[in-house]
Structure 1
Amino acid sequence: MESDKSDEESDNDVPSSIFGTKNFWDQQYITELENFKDHGDIEEIWFGKRIMDTIVKWVADKFEKNMSILDLGCGNGVLLIQLAQKGFHNLVGVDYSESAVVLARAIADSRQAKIYYKTMDVLSDDLADPHDHMKYDLLLDKGTFDAISLMEDFGSAIRERYLKTTCSLLKENGLFLITTCNWTSEEIVHHMATHYSRTEVLPTPSLQFGVVSGENAAG
């Protein structure tokens, strides 16, 4: 049976949560940084180590070590550190939480991993011009779209801003690997459909997208 819900209504199927607020993540990473400085502990790996290992293996098996990779919503940066240990060296991590970036830099320095981290909000109007920022071969999203979809005002406008920006961050023929726990495969494909087409499904809650045929990666 076909659903009578509009796209806007289906966008809001996941209720808002504190996980969709910047304040929560700022405080979370401040606490994690304090714990790391005091005890050297790296806190939780978002979605767990098994899924992170699956992503790392997929990237390592599929791509050359000099490819440019952007981790969108890098958190503590551990995913990129794992890729650095596999020999990848053109790695950038961004997060809208400055405390996350500080934590990621501290952990990377302790592992002697050469990774560039910076503060960036994928929903910011500053990214509206695709010529103002670097483009990458591979874009990773391990939970960032999930957090965005938990924002109180999440809807089609925010989703389209996210999609336009991510697409503009990719080189032509670049790839986008997204991991979600909020959405089914069919739902995430629906959310991405205006800018991406599914090309592969990993044996985890991860989907790889390539730019839609005829869609310029620069937006």
Structure 2
Amino acid sequence: MENAAESLHDCGNNSDLEEDRSSEEDFGTSKLGTKEYWEDAYQRELETFKDIGDVGEIWFGEESMSRVLRWMDRAKIPESASVLDIGTGNGAFLVELAKHGYRNLTGIDYSPASVELAKNVLEAEDLPNVTVKEIDFLNCQGELKGFDVCIDKGTFDAISLNPVNTKEGKQLYVQSLKDALKDRGYFAITSCNWTKEQLLERFSEGFEFVQELPTPSFNFGGKKGNSVTALIFMRKH
């Protein structure tokens, strides 16, 4: 990324109030939804990592990872569970999952530079057994199957911002997610574009809502809202 702060500032409706974010089409497309943007961004991060060892920014910050890890602890997700990190970026979440004891980890990204960066970061952390693949989640042709947990931290947001075939992309995402998860497998999504109600509607078919994870809230003009939404779903065949 150019940096995560800039990306978050340009992330759809992340500063809007909850009740003002009710429409499925209430924000426009953006360069953040294009593969070219992310390839350029991760190429720069890769060069920086090779130069000075900086892994780059963490999408939504470190708390976004800790939030999901705390839920995994409470849900008693076993360390042997197969976990898919959708849109792994620099692989930072894979590192944290591995340090937390999870040992069946896979990260995917459609950006070749992202995949190379993540592999470099994992190698530097001495985590050679984590799998990272160059895969477009929307066109994975059934390659991803049998996962106990799928995690998305901003990828569905980016897909929703794609100027090309936006509606189709969101539909393909849901279908790919259905294919990737086992029955009763979990899906953890963190979004700065979509409200709880919108995500519940989007993932209403084939998924059961489990819980909402607490995220920072704000008050403005007597109204309360959240800049980030984090939800847990269960796959139901």
Pairwise TM-score range, normalised by the shorter structure: 0.7 to 0.9
User: Aligned pair 1:134/2:145, yes or no?
Assistant: yes
Tell me the secondary structure at the aligned position of residue 26 of structure 1: helix
Q: CA deviation at 1:160?
A: 1.6
Q: How does 1:135-174 map to 2 (within 5 A)?
A: 135-174=146-185
Q: How does 1:8-87 map to 2 (within 5 A)?
A: 10-61=23-74, 62-87=76-101
Name 1:3's counterpart in structure 2.
Answer: none
Name 1:120's counterpart in structure 2.
Answer: 135
- Structure 1: give runs of 5+ residues left out of the alignment: 1-9
Q: Give the Cα separation in 1 of the matches to 2:97 and 2:168.
A: 33
Q: CA deviation at 1:155?
A: 4.1
Please, which of 184, 189, 197 is the counterpart of residue 178 of structure 1?
Answer: 189
TM-score for the superposition, normalised by structure 2 = 0.80
Contact 2:182 2:235 in 1 (8 A): no
Letter in 2 for 1:141: D
Letter in 1 for 2:62: K
Q: Give the Cα separation in 1 of the matches to 2:82 and 2:195.
A: 28
Letter in 1 for 2:91: G
Query: Equivalent pairs: percent with the same residue?
Result: 38
Q: CA deviation at 1:188?
A: 1.2
- Structure 2: give runs of 5+ residues left out of the alignment: 1-22, 216-228
Name 1:6's counterpart in structure 2.
Answer: none
Letter in 1 for 2:83: I
Tell me the secondary structure at the aligned position of residue 13 of structure 1: coil
